[in-house]
Structure 1
């Protein structure tokens, strides 16, 4: 049925039965030279919970396990992936290659910050332009032999998440949260969006779960008691990891050396992804 339908079929020349047979698969194909096996989106219902950090560590962990990994930075107005990996725009003033830049350990990365003259330049665009940029990252760049692509999504349930879910065949999502009780409501929004878009939820990651004191070796819950187990039970979702507040981790991100940080929170993630493949 068209937007201008007045219930009179002669107004548009089509019958409603004809409309029912129209194409409903709007997934965009990647570049014809690309090879991408699995796509995992990392989402959060709100900002500031460390979604980019989790995305980075997932890609780093899978890369260490011998898989070819990539990150598509869909957080166009707040890109932080290139900074964490120490990847910068090359050949300023020249046309960028059709191949995404690689990090020190060979992770393919594409982000709007790699297209800007200066990485501090703001992206002041309206929603449709931002969404089209994300689709261009997917369609125009050649992603070579990628086993797992991780998409760092912007927070919330707006234009870009909707574009990604409708345009890219996402095999599963990981939801990032923090311990505050308020977050349970925010997680619920992300869960319900995933369900409505028919995207499998692989699990929850709680960031800033605790701080381990280097002096007393005790764990201190800076943001209060965790509510992640209740959320996981309510929605029948697995808890994949509980990440601490770690100044060393913050520093390697600032220094562009996240690939060299030793963290074991996601050592089991390949088993989760294999199980996902078995379910498909």
Structure 2
């Protein structure tokens, strides 16, 4: 998205000193606006009077707004235009990266029933809406629900070499799940090592296309299988889902502690069922208590990415395998998930180190553009 605005400066900036001043002002704006720790995370380049700002998080949906904010802060010469693009890097992990996958984010919960799977799917849809290339791995071996939520229950992965699987495509996302491979009517009665091996096969034997983010819907809980999975998957970071009740918060705290023990950054909390908003009078009723996630976030020095209300549209779209972002009645909910996805990706850039591949290149952020 290009943006051009009249200014009080001369119509043209021809001198190298003038261009350098404008570029420096833009860098300062970006660094302050997003609180980025250093300039190596983004790039500002000039080519044929077009200034391109490459950001380390998805920004296509916000490109025009960002350009407008920039021009409200900096008086660009009239012969220059500015555009914002995404160039999402690979951030550091403790395990070798999965082929074609830049970053893996676990969406987890301390207990079941808090809306973890719905959050994982809607967060993935929101990232895609912002402009990222996104996949979903359903790691909930015992209760896979991603196929239902994506409307792909009757599909199964194809294989071209009898060794690897092609992921399932729906709603501009790719996904894989044990639910595509096991009959839905059969219970998955597996011991921990079997479940862990199945997960490793799902993630490593899937022919993922180039992805900026792979969202992993983790099994609920913090037992041995969750710990093993978290250690075996090259996780970049995690998001913890909870509801406002004390019992859910206690278990969510255990999940945060597990990731801290594994030195996996937690990018924030998402509180589901925060309140019910009356459709007639817009009165908000906190059915399951108030400020639960805020208190937990304060204790662990984490941000709250979103407070998601109780809303039948979340359930309806998930049950019908439809995207919440195709529902014209869900603009408010869409904005909540978009803001959560936006802040999650910015927090990753602010709090997670670049991978060794990006560091070793030492030629700027473009090295992390795998495509």
Give the alignment's TM-score, normalised by structure 1.
0.83
Task: State the distance in 1 between where 2:282 and 2:199 align.
Answer: 43
In the TM superposition, what are the counterparts of 1:128-277 in structure 2 within 5 Å? 128-259=193-324, 260-261=326-327, 262=330, 263-268=334-339, 269-277=341-349
In the TM superposition, what are the counterparts of 1:25-40 in structure 2 within 5 Å? 27=95, 30=98, 34-40=99-105
Residue in 2 that maps onto 1:99: 166
The answer (yes or no) to whether the contact 2:268–2:344 under 8 Å persists in 1 is no
Flag the 1:91–1:221 CA change in 2: closer, same or farther, 3 A. closer
How many residue pairs were aligned? 251
Residue in 1 that maps onto 2:35: none
Task: State the distance in 2 between where 1:267 and 1:89 align.
Answer: 29
Task: State the distance in 2 between where 1:165 and 1:43 align.
Answer: 10
**Runs of 4+ in structure 1 over 4 Å off:** 91-97
Which of 27, 33, 47 is equivalent to 2:112? 47
Give the structure with the larger helix fraction: 2
Residue in 1 that maps onto 2:189: 124
Deviations 1:148-186 (A, max 9, x none): 000000111123322222112211110000011222211
Task: State the distance in 1 between where 2:303 and 2:156 align.
Answer: 44
Flag the 1:114–1:96 CA change in 2: closer, same or farther, 3 A. farther
The answer (yes or no) to whether the contact 1:76–1:123 under 8 Å persists in 2 is yes
Q: Which deviates more, 162-171 or 63-72?
A: 162-171
The answer (yes or no) to whether the contact 1:70–1:148 under 8 Å persists in 2 is yes
Larger radius of gyration: 2
What is the aligned-residue RMSD (CA, Å)? 2.2
The answer (yes or no) to whether the contact 2:305–2:343 under 8 Å persists in 1 is no
The answer (yes or no) to whether the contact 2:94–2:234 under 8 Å persists in 1 is no
The answer (yes or no) to whether the contact 2:272–2:308 under 8 Å persists in 1 is yes
**Structure ranking higher on relative contact order (CA contacts 8 Å, 6+ apart):** 1
Give the alignment's TM-score, normalised by structure 2.
0.64
The answer (yes or no) to whether the contact 1:74–1:160 under 8 Å persists in 2 is no
Secondary structure of 1:151's partner?
Answer: strand
The answer (yes or no) to whether the contact 1:101–1:109 under 8 Å persists in 2 is yes
Check if 1:112 corresponds to 2:178.
yes
Residue in 2 that maps onto 1:19: none
Task: State the distance in 2 between where 1:139 and 1:150 align.
Answer: 15
List alignment gaps of at least 5 residues for structure 2.
Answer: 1-92, 354-371
